[in-house]
Amino acid sequence: MAKIFCVANQKGGVGKTTTSVNLAAGLAKLEQRVLLVDLDPQGNATMGAGINKASLNASTYQVLLGEAEVNDARQRSEAGRFDVLPANRELAGAEVEMVELDNRERRLKHALAKVDADYDFILVDCPPALSMLTLNGLCAAHGVIIPMQCEYYALEGLSDLVNTIKKVHANLNTDLKIIGLLRVMFDPRMTLSQQVSAQLEQHFGGKVFKTIIPRNVRLAEAPSYGVPGVVFDPSSKGAQAYIAFGAEMVERIKTM
């Protein structure tokens, strides 16, 4: 049975996709079987895994609308050694088209149930919104990984996300938990980073992952080569951190 995790934060550009792609590749290095679900019409996770979003036969869009099975739409990231349910801008239409459908917030959950046995981890890269797409991710998941930058405004949006997760837990998916907050793009030379990081630990205690992902240019360069940073430059500080995060997640699921 796969453990399903959403990588979510309604703030844009906080490192969701970088985390999804590199955690997937890091887990694959640890011999875990991984499916990465791209739930964002931007298709960044798809491209970052080395799959051309412009030439998809089937994608997350068709899967959500019941026009394709995950089994037909998934592709292999040869670079990352994990599977991908890819997406492109077509997925933006699903938001509106799903309104007509029954059980519209559980479409992804039902689709993933059919491939559950093939994986140890299913990671869902969510779009930067608390939308019907993100809601599908939250309804399908056992837990949420929240990447955040250690800056002043990071904390502001966090309560909206935490409240949404609480509501989904209460009304739609009692399995759902916050697995943890992941500090990303961390710059240890900045006093503010240190302060916000300490505040997070104070407020959220054990819900803050031990691993900290540093700001590292190799992670930012990798997507343009269609290769996860973890594979692009395995010895870089960023890659090493995501591999350590993979190991932390493997440990974490043993207690779930």
Q: Which residues bind Mg ion (CB under 5 A)?
A: 16-17, 44
Helix (H, G, I), strand (E, B) or coil at 74: coil
Give the residue with the Cβ less far from ligand ATP, 88 or 216: 216
Q: Which residues of 226-255 are buried (b: 16+ CB within 10 A; e: fewer)?
A: bbbbbbbbeebebbbbbbbbbebbbebbee
User: Taking CB within 5 to 8 Å according to partner kind, which of Mg ion, ligand ATP, none is near residue 77?
Assistant: none
Decide: 219 and 183 in contact? Cβ < 8 Å: no
Decide: 200 and 181 in contact? Cβ < 8 Å: yes
User: Taking CB within 5 to 8 Å according to partner kind, which of ligand ATP, Mg ion, none is near residue 50?
Assistant: none
Helix (H, G, I), strand (E, B) or coil at 7: strand
Closest separation in Å from C-beta 116 to ligand ATP: 25
Give helix 237-254 / helix 16-29 axis angle, nearest 10°: 70
Binding span for ligand ATP by CB under 6 A among 9-17, 95-103, 160-168, 188-196: 9-17
Counting residues that bind ligand ATP (by CB under 6 A) gives: 19
Closest separation in Å from C-beta 247 to ligand ATP: 18
Over the window 15 to 54, marking each residue x when it contacts ligand ATP by CB under 6 A and - when it does not, the resulting string is xxxx---------------------x-x-x----------
Closest separation in Å from C-beta 141 to ligand ATP: 17
Give the residue with the Cβ less far from ligand ATP, 44 or 193: 44
DSSP 8: -
* Signed CA dihedral, 114, 120, 125, 131: sign only: positive
User: Taking CB within 5 to 8 Å according to partner kind, which of ligand ATP, Mg ion, none is near residue 12?
Assistant: ligand ATP
Closest separation in Å from C-beta 40 to Mg ion: 5
Over the window 201 to 230, marking each residue x when it contacts ligand ATP by CB under 6 A and - when it does not, the resulting string is ------------x-xx--xx----------
With 0-12 / 13-18 / 19 or more C-beta atoms within 10 angstroms meaning exposed / middle / buried, residue 145 is buried
Site for ligand ATP in 127-186 (CB under 6 A): 128, 184-185
C-alpha atoms less than 13 angstroms from C-alpha of 100 in its C-beta half-sphere: 6
Q: Which amino acid is at 158?
A: L
Interacting residues toward ligand ATP by CB under 6 A: 12-18, 40, 42, 44, 128, 184-185, 213, 215-216, 219-220, 238
